[in-house]
Amino acid sequence: MKYFRLLSMLPALPAVPDAPPLPLDELIDLIFEDLAESARPLALALLGFLDCKNVEALLQGYEVFDERAPISKEQLETREDLPEWLSEFLEAYDSGAITDAYAFDALWRAYFTALVEVAETSGSVFLQEWVSNELTLRDALVRYRAEIIGEKADMRMSGVAVQEGDSHSTLLSTLGEAANPMERERLLDAARLRKIEAISGIDPFSTDAALAYLAGAIILDRWNVGKTADTKKMLEVFA
């Protein structure tokens, strides 16, 4: 399906980490107004990132909840009408069956496993390449950080099988030159935005182009914290 009206109407996103041109909730509403029924599960799968952040916060007792996420707070509290991957994680969490040193590694593994399945089933080239890039980047970051502190980390940390892609070696080599953690996050998100642009497809009005726009908006929303925000508080956004 072609999205001429939608993708002509949406404001251009910054090419570098910065606040999006409109609040993320408004961008989500605009996208879902035009999105075909067949494409909605793909967009919801991308927005599952927000669901994971909410689950982490809720289970750790934090009084924060991102209402823009597809899954409501009531659903999480009652454990009703949840996607299978999340129901299985919560059941394991509640029963103490999770063996990961950090329990929420299992949450993200469940999410990304489901995202890979959605990407492969849908045939979306963008979604397949995006999840592959994100997983290989996260794995590379874990190995990079382990090496810094002298630990061995030579396995696939995410535990999710995807086609091997970029080693991210060039990006990782620049992280050590960053002045502070904020700058490292900026470098990482700048690389993510470049990747989104590169894999959005040749058709600027395709479903993949709409998904790429949403993925970019989710990343940029992390930087929508104001120009005078306290650095410590801003870093909490990326925790």
Encoding tokens for residue 212?
A: 């790429």
Please say if the pLDDT value at position 187 is more than 90.
Answer: yes
Tens of pLDDT, residues 8-42? 999 999 999 999 999 999 999 999 999 999 999 99
> Can you tell me the distance from the alpha carbon of 185 to that of 228, in angstroms, rounded to the nearest whole number?
17
> Can you tell me the distance from the alpha carbon of 141 to that of 84, in angstroms, rounded to the nearest whole number?
28
Burial 65-78 (b: 16+ CB within 10 A, else e): ebebbbbeeebbee
> Can you tell me the distance from the alpha carbon of 188 to that of 25, in angstroms, rounded to the nearest whole number?
23
> Can you tell me the distance from the alpha carbon of 118 to that of 40, in angstroms, rounded to the nearest whole number?
11
**Confidence band, pLDDT 50/70/90 cuts, at residue 233:** very low
Q: What is the pLDDT of residue 236?
A: 45
**Confidence band, pLDDT 50/70/90 cuts, at residue 101:** confident
> Can you tell me the distance from the alpha carbon of 229 to that of 224, in angstroms, rounded to the nearest whole number?
10
Q: Give the mean model confidence (pLDDT) for residues 102-129.
A: 95
Mean of the per-residue pLDDT values of the chain: 89
Alpha-carbon separation of residue 197 from 14, 156, 170, 216 (angstroms):
11, 26, 18, 9
> Can you tell me the distance from the alpha carbon of 81 to that of 47, in angstroms, rounded to the nearest whole number?
16
Tokens 């290989």 -> residue: 136
> Can you tell me the distance from the alpha carbon of 65 to that of 143, in angstroms, rounded to the nearest whole number?
31
Q: Give the mean model confidence (pLDDT) for residues 104-131.
A: 96
**Confidence band, pLDDT 50/70/90 cuts, at residue 226:** low
Q: What is the pLDDT of residue 157?
A: 52
Q: Give the mean model confidence (pLDDT) for residues 106-130.
A: 96
Q: Give the mean model confidence (pLDDT) for residues 42-57.
A: 98
% of the chain residues with pLDDT over 70:
88
Q: Give the mean model confidence (pLDDT) for residues 89-93.
A: 97
Least confident of 100-114, 138-152, 206-220: 138-152
Q: What is the pLDDT of residue 147?
A: 79
Tens of pLDDT, residues 132-176? 999 999 988 888 888 788 776 555 556 666 555 667 888 988 988
Residue 149: burial class (beta carbons within 10 Å; 0-12, 13-18, 19+): exposed
Q: Give the mean model confidence (pLDDT) for residues 197-204.
A: 96
Contact status, residue 65 vs residue 58, Cβ threshold 8 Å: yes
76 Cβ contact list (under 8 Å, min separation 6): 54, 55, 58, 82
